[in-house]
Structure 1
Amino acid sequence: MNNERNTSKVAIIGTGFVGSSYAFSLLNQGIANEMVLIDINKEKAEGEARDLNHGLPFSSPMKIWAGSYEDCKDADLVVITAGANQAPGETRLDLIAKNIKIFKIIVDEIMKSGFNGIFLIATNPVDILSYATWKFSGLPMERVIGSGTILDTARLRYLLGEYFELDSRNVHVYIIGEHGDTELPVWSHGTIGSQPLQSYFKKDNDKIKKDLEDIFVNVRDAAYHIINRKGATYYGIAMGLARLTKAILRNENSILTVSALLEGKYGLDDLYIGVPAIVNRNGIREIVELDLTEEEMKKLHHSANVLKTAIKPYFD
């Protein structure tokens, strides 16, 4: 990782809905000094760069341009948002075959440039493509991070905030596991402010438990609802990627639910899956191993088995 430079440079691969929304978030929040947009459709990347540059008089100074894989050489962070999108009726796992092929080409080209920074993966299925990026790149596991369940956790915090009529930033409950149909909420560690979530179950215990389960189902299926209505999800994940970028470039040591390689934590090995982790300038500093209930651990292992079965044909 290049820590000697005074600038912070982000390369974005893919300028579709997610990539361009993420670029806009970076510009709005002034997170990086340099941003290069790379896309197989060079004109699209150029158009996005021009449009973003026209916002610079309203923002912090930033160098923004459309470039090529060679521009990844001295990037601190390469963020991959390229690939086939989830269509109505498709699950994230339906995209594996198409996107693994695309990723092999992309990651090989990036590594050919001499890139030695951190990968941040957003393309679905994110857990499997993070694992693929780690394998294809040969980089240490701490420098390949997937967006994991950062958005799912944000969705849950938002809906719980609405339910309890509280600022969602004061709600702390994690979603872990696959970013997909087998994810799970960690109710046992949930807090609102500094109070355990369980303390809110004083009255109507059964009703609140049912309501929370309904909220979780809404979170798990949120992408399907949005895709059916507007064709794709991109604002939420763009904000999540910007949050991760800030944690990395500013060396925050923040705990975020990302897709990380497990090697023994939670009794799992050799797979990327969404878990809380400490993120800083070097990537993933440490996996946070929560003391899960027996039921939560069983659901996490089920989620892991689904991912392992899905990826086995490609990395056996």
Structure 2
Amino acid sequence: MKKTSNKVVLIGAGAVGTSFMYAAINQGVAENYVLIDAFPQAAEGNALDLADTMAVLPTSFTSIKAGNYADCGDADVIVITAGRPQKEGETRLDMVAGNAIIMKSIAEEVKKSGFKGITVIASNPVDVLTYVYQKVTGFDEHKVIGSGTTLDSARLRRLVADKLKVSAQSVNAFLAGEHGDSSVAVWSHATVMEKPIFKYIEEGKISQAELDQIREDAVHMAYKIIELKRATFYGIGVCLTRIVKAVLRDEMVTLMVGAKLNGEFNNKDVYTGVPAIIGKDGWSEIINWDLTKKEQEQFNASCSTLKESIAKAEVAIK
């Protein structure tokens, strides 16, 4: 098998991180993988377990091992999922202080390694921690990507599809803003089989009240899953794989990732879920949609909520 330069380092070998790794190796995303964890035995055990797939995968990989931060130096992509998990009844923003301190320590070690590639972050609260990581490292903001509302939008698409009895892949619907309770359903840009969602309302196939409930269900899906099985990880694992694949393949595809606003959507100095073009250099451009007045107000409120948490994180990491 021809060895390529594609090397992915995972920091945080818990349920989210290993779900990403399992999805990535099944999709043949990279050639070489390294797992880093605060508990080295967890990284080593998961690396050995995942290595057992090499002989039977249709598209295999070259190597997978437990490692340390020195392995980040020549990596193409680092995926960070480290941090304590969300507890039942807890919002993502409740986790900000403790996980900000963890993220600061990770950022310092990654910077020390000489890493020059792209970082993809899923640690919660992801918008705030992506901001912390970029600030601590000083890396080019375009090379730091949060998972944003990729998962939230996938949930929204599935729920709309269930209601209209179509494939989820036929639905383009988006949650923007915080990966959390204040995220905004951008119905003004939603389509089903390329037809605007408001046409389905006019035809009586779905109502605005039903769309509002679908938004609530999508936003609170994590709480339901955590209540049922204590954690969510498969969905975000696949979403992280999608982002990393877009980077390594230089796809220049638009995804709902966490990118840093610099005036787009009338907000700035905050990482949050927006449509951005993803390729080998990270996110290259934010697609600045025209929002309705109500959507813009909701988006502004979401960004304000995040900035309050960013201020708490900055206090925590001083």
Q: TM-score range by the shorter chain?
A: over 0.9
Relative to the length of structure 2, the TM-score reads 0.96
Counterpart of 1:27?
A: 25
Counterpart of 2:157?
A: 157
**1:315 Cα offset (Å):** 3.4
Is it true that 1:50 corresponds to 2:48 in the alignment? yes
Distance, in Å, in 1 between the alignment partners of 2:207 and 2:83 is 40
Counterpart of 2:139?
A: 139
Correspondence list, 1:134-283, <5 A: 134-204=134-204, 208-283=207-282
- SS of residue in 1 equivalent to 2:115: coil
Correspondence list, 1:38-187, <5 A: 38-59=36-57, 60-187=60-187
Does the 8 A contact of 2:97 with 2:312 survive in 1?
no
**1:314 Cα offset (Å):** 3.6
Distance, in Å, in 1 between the alignment partners of 2:97 and 2:199 is 45
Number of residue pairs aligned between Structure 1 and Structure 2: 311
Distance, in Å, in 2 between the alignment partners of 1:145 and 1:276 is 12
Q: CA RMSD in A?
A: 1.2
Deviations 1:98-134 (A, max 9, x none): 0011011111111111111111000000000000010
Does the 8 A contact of 2:128 with 2:313 survive in 1?
no
- SS of residue in 1 equivalent to 2:207: helix
Distance, in Å, in 2 between the alignment partners of 1:61 and 1:273 is 33
Distance, in Å, in 2 between the alignment partners of 1:88 and 1:314 is 22
- The letter of the residue matching 2:188 is S
- SS of residue in 1 equivalent to 2:273: strand
**1:188 Cα offset (Å):** 0.4
Distance, in Å, in 2 between the alignment partners of 1:313 and 1:202 is 45
- SS of residue in 2 equivalent to 1:201: helix
**1:209 Cα offset (Å):** 1.1
Counterpart of 1:292?
A: 291
Distance, in Å, in 2 between the alignment partners of 1:166 and 1:234 is 25
Identity %: 43
Distance, in Å, in 2 between the alignment partners of 1:288 and 1:203 is 30
Deviations 1:122-175 (A, max 9, x none): 000000000001001111110000000000000011111111111111100111
- SS of residue in 1 equivalent to 2:314: coil
- The letter of the residue matching 1:131 is Y
Distance, in Å, in 2 between the alignment partners of 1:221 and 1:139 is 33
Does the 8 A contact of 1:13 with 1:19 survive in 2?
yes
- The letter of the residue matching 1:214 is Q
- SS of residue in 2 equivalent to 1:56: coil
Does the 8 A contact of 1:27 with 1:62 survive in 2?
no
Distance, in Å, in 2 between the alignment partners of 1:177 and 1:267 is 12
Does the 8 A contact of 2:146 with 2:257 survive in 1?
yes
**1:194 Cα offset (Å):** 1.6
Counterpart of 1:7?
A: 5
Which 5+ residue runs of structure 1 have no aligned equivalent?
none
- SS of residue in 2 equivalent to 1:49: helix
Does the 8 A contact of 1:149 with 1:179 survive in 2?
yes
**1:58 Cα offset (Å):** 1.6
**1:204 Cα offset (Å):** 3.4
Relative to the length of structure 1, the TM-score reads 0.96
Does the 8 A contact of 1:173 with 1:186 survive in 2?
yes
Does the 8 A contact of 1:187 with 1:197 survive in 2?
yes
Distance, in Å, in 2 between the alignment partners of 1:202 and 1:195 is 12
Does the 8 A contact of 2:173 with 2:189 survive in 1?
yes
- SS of residue in 1 equivalent to 2:202: coil
Distance, in Å, in 2 between the alignment partners of 1:137 and 1:263 is 19
